[in-house]
Amino acid sequence: MEVTETGTTIKAHGLKIIHELLVTHPQLIANQAAWQDPWKRKKIEQLALLLQGALRADRLVGLKMNVAEENLEKVVKLLPSLTAPTISRLYQEGWFAVETVISEDEVRELIPRLIEAGAQGIIEYALNKVI
Q: Mean per-residue pLDDT for 18-47?
A: 91
> What gap in Å lies between CA 62 and CA 42, rounded to an integer?
30
* Domain residue ranges in the chain: 60-126
The fold for domain 60-126 equals: Alpha-Beta Plaits (3.30.70)
Give CA 21 to chain center in angstroms.
Answer: 29
Instruction: For residue range 37-65, list pLDDT tens digits in order.
Output: 999 999 999 999 999 999 889 889 999 99
pTM: 0.71
Torsion sign (Cα): 55, 60, 65, 71: negative
